Amino acid sequence: MAYLSGKQAFLEILKSEGVSVMFGNPGTTELPLMDGLAREPKIRYVLALQEAVAIAMADGYAQASGSLAAVNVHVSPGLGNAMGMLYDAYKAHSPLLLTAGQHDQCFTVTEPILWSELPPVAAPYVKWSTEARRLEDLPRIVRRAVKSALAQPSGPVFLSLPVDVLNAERDNLDLLAPTRVAPQIVGDRAAVDAAARKLVTAEKPLIVAGDAVAHGDALAELQEVAELLGAPVMLEGVASTCSFPFTHPLYGGSMPRLGAPIKGVLMRHDVLFSVGGDLFTLSLPSDVDPMPPGLEVVHLDVDPWELGKNYPAAIAIQGHPKATLPELCEAIRRHAGTSGHKDAARRREALAATHAREREDLTRRAADEAKKNPMGPLALVHAVAEAVPDDVVVIDEAISSAPGIRNFFRCADPKSFYGLRGGGIGWGLPAALGAKLALPRRPVVALVGDGSAMYTAQALWTAAHDAIAVVYVIFNNASYRILKERTKALKGFSAEDDTYVAMDLDKPLIDYVGLARSLGVAGERVEKAADVGPALGRALASGAPTLIDVRIDPSFK
């Protein structure tokens, strides 16, 4: 066997693991890797101008492709810049292989410029964090990292790659082979049978669908369960996927994120079936316990940590939704009987009528908001939803408008919608680029708040540089509206004086169209709801990255 350098071995292993794209921003400690890429045509390097952009692009790519995403950042400051978006990827269970170059080990004892111990920095937000200190160990470490990133529940991993390891050479270096952990864990059959009996005898069951449903491509299986039970399905409160078709008559929107509203929903039900989600991720502390007394919980998740984490589950099943839900369907059919099927049919009919009325009411509200100047956010959501094609991929970081987005858009497959799971803003602009690279044949439209857009505006340059045809719609209320809403809810000085410190993005107003054009992206400003659809049509037809800046009503209750 010919001599292999560390940089060559690393890239060969990546290729054998299915990596064809790497995201990153290089520095001096990454130069061996960049030198290796100069003769590696099978791996495309997508340059970000800031590390947060690189991580979020990789996150979007990993979620949309369902495969490993490789991303490389520059030593200590680069990893520090990446941490906010790494947290989002960690919360979304995105399989990322994050690497950072490290100084040559021959002089790290002197604490050179930019140096620090890297694995402890990344450790809180990855499944495994380590440093490769010898070329001989590199293949085993990389293979272990990739296996861990992809094994359920998936998530990011981190490797520190010293310059001397990447430059080292040796012959007969065994690159080893990939390992894949079979993901389709079937839940315990006795527990599944008990769950079926409990769900069949429930008078008012509720299903909460978590991201694991979409990640595991189990929408059809969950839909069958919901229809057999005649149960409404709501997305978990902080959902980043389309885990149930938004167009289905049993779809009930998203769970709230505050204790009292959650309890208001749950009090209408006697059994809660949580599938691949958490119970519950709250935005703020609450004096109200979200879980009503007497509500029984059936919980299915591939991650045992989530089972009974915050609330006891009467039946807790560790299993993959794709593998376990068909078993549950069979058990439901066995136990339902004629009366059970009739009850389910009545519930289906009633829920379909109720949800149809709710959507009609929401549409009327959007029409009313369209008459305002500037238009209300719901009017903008409705206008965009009406204009995009059915195969659109929606990237959602319009935080204040999220409920409307998940009711108006016709998202119906697991790759049709991605939202901000971790809550660290700035994710939307770059994540959309990663999603488009993973799904090049589908149109990608990103809905991004103006405050979020300024966290990672450098992503626009990458969109232009790599000709990634994403359409961005900026929800521009010239403020951090959600912070104003929550500050007002404190009923303190701000509410009394109608004064909100450091929550307005004005004086000067930000020119998003000018910003986009300065970075090579076409821009257009829209002020009327009737003009949103035509602007979107032009943007999608152009086949080029485009930003549409829409001023919306900044008022709030």
CATH number at residue 143: 3.40.50.970
Q: Is 471 contained in some domain?
A: yes
CA distances in angstroms from 487 to 97, 399, 400, 500, listed in the order given: 38, 16, 14, 8
Q: Are residues 233 and 94 in the same domain?
A: no
**Tokens (6 digits) for 331:** 């058990």
- In a domain? residue 181: no
Entry pTM: 0.97
What pLDDT does 3 receive? Answer: 85
Is 176 inside any structural domain?
no
In 3D space, the residue among 55, 51, 44, 54 whose CA is nearest the CA of residue 21 turns out to be 44
Clarify whether residues 23 and 141 are in a common domain: yes
Sheet holding 444-449, edge to edge: 417-419, 393-397, 444-449, 470-476, 546-551, 522-526
Residues 135 and 232 in one domain: no
User: Do 125 and 41 share a structural domain?
Assistant: yes
Over residues 137-170, the pLDDT tens digits come to 999 999 999 999 999 999 999 999 999 999 999 9
Peptide bond into 508 cis (omega under 30): yes
**Domain interval for residue 19:** 4-170
524-548 pLDDT tens trace: 999 999 999 999 999 999 999 999 9
pLDDT digits (tens, 9 = 90+) for 33-54: 999 999 999 999 999 999 999 9
161 and 202 both lie in a single domain: no
The answer as to whether 363 is a domain residue is no
Mean pLDDT calculated for residue range 270-298 = 93
Number of domains the chain is built from: 3
Q: Are residues 343 and 383 in the same domain?
A: no
Residues 153, 196 within the same domain: no
Q: Are residues 384 and 491 in the same domain?
A: yes
Instruction: Tell whether 255 and 203 lie within a shared domain.
Output: yes
10 Å CB burial of residue 165 (0-12, 13-18, 19+) is buried
Q: Establish if 527 belongs to a structural domain.
A: yes
Residues 346 and 420 in one domain: no
Which CATH number fits the domain that encloses residue 283?
Answer: 3.40.50.1220
The answer to whether residue 30 is domain-embedded is yes
Contact present, 462 and 434 (Cβ < 8 Å) = no
Give the type of residue at 105.
Answer: Q
Q: Within a domain: residue 534?
A: yes
In a domain, 175, yes or no: no
Same domain, 85 and 133: yes
